[in-house]
């Protein structure tokens, strides 16, 4: 009998004990936990303090008791990185928070990040059996955050087990969620991993795209530091396609390459006046505020601070932009061409935005911007919309009514989606590209060029952190198989 067998038997026994300690009816009678938050009046004035303050240990244990530990845990099926959700939750229930964190780290490179920004309500929690009983799902995301934060705060951070070094070098383009997830899995498998990041800080969209009031930078830094301790090497200010090419990486002895360079090219509407002063993409706005401290007028590249700001869009990036502008002292309005029911943003983000005083103007769409005498935007002409039949996304299609409305604005932030920057994909010879310079991959995440894999927004064209991480995990699994086959 091995130690692993004994541990498996012991885990099975304590989970059996937990099941018998409380009847299912008692578990389903427990109300779902409410996440403690900063008060709206206060938080809407501070750019750097996190809105959700986290669960206490007692709150986490009670919420964990709601988990019925199903024989067939469908919640795991809803998780793109296949976390063993019942196992980590039951570890929380019995008060073994470090064990819960270790379970998370077995499959997730960024548990503290995912616990904050993943749309669990559309993924793992949407598969929870409680929903079939017309009850709220178990708060899986809150519990994930709790376990990861508890381990960090305790100072006893564990690292996943890693295989002996095999001497094979792997290159990763981009340090966003796809690249970090791939890097962590390849490091576990014994590879020498080198990550090349174009910007001066590691983290990709986790750093430049998500404000600290939703995802603090120090949380991202802890996860990155764990990867460093696992042996991952990071290189900043390195633009693949300019500083160094993919071919040069291959010549330098890298046996596998993963591209996770994201989608940093903003989309615009192409309407009159869109190039006026003080009209910018959400990418530029958030990157400058989050990564360059541009809200400080004494910095090298300060941003113009609007007093009446209009944010165009209805996704999470639009919510991040409008809530950032509010914290910088503006009166802020979200303009969205569909109704609120069709907004792709998380319900929690919409709730927080409303509580913080953001105005919502739905069923309106900008058609033109008007300049003042200095060439800066002063007004936006909006077309009033109505909803027609559902389109390919399943949401009702917005249709113009012919009526318009003019509003006064002095800053506009366009948050209507992103596309991959063509620099990386177009710099690789023989690479098959898809819509808007996305990289075409097969079911193994391998591109048309053998040995070159890709994942995240560079493949999807704009998606969630957890889907990018899932791509990274899948690519790591398949690249590892291919390299082992080549070395046989």
Q: Report the C-alpha gap between 34 and 57 in whole angstroms.
A: 14
Provide the mean pLDDT of the chain.
94
How does pLDDT run across 82-128, given as a tens digit for each residue?
Answer: 999 999 999 999 999 999 999 999 999 999 999 999 999 999 999 99
pLDDT for 480: 97
CATH T-level assignment (fold) for domain 14-154: Fumarate Reductase Iron-sulfur Protein; Chain B, domain 2 (1.10.1060)
pTM confidence score: 0.92
- In this chain, the answer to whether the domains covering 14-154 and 169-264+419-486 adopt an identical fold is no
* Right CATH for 268-416 from 3.50.50.60, 3.40.50.2000, 2.60.120.10, 3.40.50.360: 3.50.50.60
Q: Please report, for the chain, the start and end positions of each structural domain, with discontinuous segments joined by +.
A: 14-154, 169-264+419-486, 268-416
CATH T-level assignment (fold) for domain 169-264+419-486: FAD/NAD(P)-binding domain (3.50.50)
Position 430 confidence tier, pLDDT thresholds 50, 70, 90: confident
Position 151 confidence tier, pLDDT thresholds 50, 70, 90: very high
pLDDT at position 41 over 80: yes
pLDDT at position 436 over 60: yes
pLDDT at position 3 over 80: no
- Residue 74, judged by CB atoms within 10 A of its CB (0-12, 13-18, 19+), counts as middle
Compare 301 and 336 and report the one with higher pLDDT.
336
pLDDT for 394: 86
């Amino acid at each position: 009998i091995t130690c692993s067998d004994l541990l498996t038997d012991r885990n099975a026994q304590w989970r059996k004990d937990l099941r018998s300690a409380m009847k299912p009816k008692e578990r389903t009678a427990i109300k779902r936990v409410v996440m403690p938050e900063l008060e709206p009046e206060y938080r809407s004035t501070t750019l750097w303090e996190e809105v959700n303050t986290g669960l206490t240990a007692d709150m986490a244990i009670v919420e964990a008791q709601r988990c019925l530990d199903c024989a067939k845990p469908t919640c795991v099926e809803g998780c793109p990185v296949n976390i063993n959700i019942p196992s980590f939750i039951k570890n929380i229930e019995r008060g073994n928070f470090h064990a819960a964190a270790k379970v998370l780290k077995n499959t997730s490179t960024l548990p503290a990040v995912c616990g904050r920004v993943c749309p669990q309500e559309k993924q793992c929690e949407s598969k929870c059996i409680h929903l079939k009983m017309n009850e709220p799902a178990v708060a899986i995301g809150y519990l994930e955050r709790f376990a990861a934060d508890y381990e960090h705060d305790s100072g006893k951070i564990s690292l996943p087990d890693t295989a002996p070094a095999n001497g094979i070098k792997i290159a990763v383009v981009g340090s966003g969620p796809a690249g970090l997830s791939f890097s962590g899995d390849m490091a576990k498998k014994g590879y020498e991993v080198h990550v090349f990041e174009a910007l001066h800080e590691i983290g990709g969209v986790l750093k430049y795209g998500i404000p600290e009031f939703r995802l603090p930078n120090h949380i991202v830094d802890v996860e990155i530091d764990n990867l460093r301790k696992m042996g991952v090497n990071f290189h900043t200010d390195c633009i693949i396609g300019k500083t160094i090419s993919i071919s040069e990486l291959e010549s330098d002895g890298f046996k596998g390459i993963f591209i996770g360079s994201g989608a940093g090219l903003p989309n615009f509407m192409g309407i009159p006046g869109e190039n006026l002063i003080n009209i910018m993409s959400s990418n530029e706005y958030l990157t400058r505020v989050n990564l360059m401290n541009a809200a400080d007028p004494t910095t090298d590249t300060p941003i113009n601070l609007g007093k009446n700001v209009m944010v165009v869009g209805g996704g999470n990036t639009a919510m991040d932009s409008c809530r950032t502008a509010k914290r910088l002292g503006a009166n802020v309005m979200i303009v969205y061409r569909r109704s609120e029911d069709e907004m792709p943003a998380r319900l929690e983000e919409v709730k927080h935005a409303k509580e913080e005083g953001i105005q919502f103007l739905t069923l309106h769409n900008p058609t033109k911007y008007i300049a003042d005498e200095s060439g800066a935007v002063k007004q936006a002409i909006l077309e009033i919309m109505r909803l027609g039949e559902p389109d390919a996304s399943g949401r009702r299609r917005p249709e113009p009514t012919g009526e318009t409305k003019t509003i006064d604005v002095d800053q506009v932030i366009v948050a209507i989606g992103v596309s991959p920057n063509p620099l990386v994909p177009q710099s690789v010879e023989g690479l098959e590209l898809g819509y808007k310079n996305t990289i075409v991959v097969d079911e193994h995440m391998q591109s048309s060029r053998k040995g070159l894999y890709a994942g995240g927004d560079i493949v999807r064209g704009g998606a969630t952190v957890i889907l990018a991480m899932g791509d990274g995990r899948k690519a790591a699994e398949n690249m590892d198989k291919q390299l082992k086959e080549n070395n046989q």
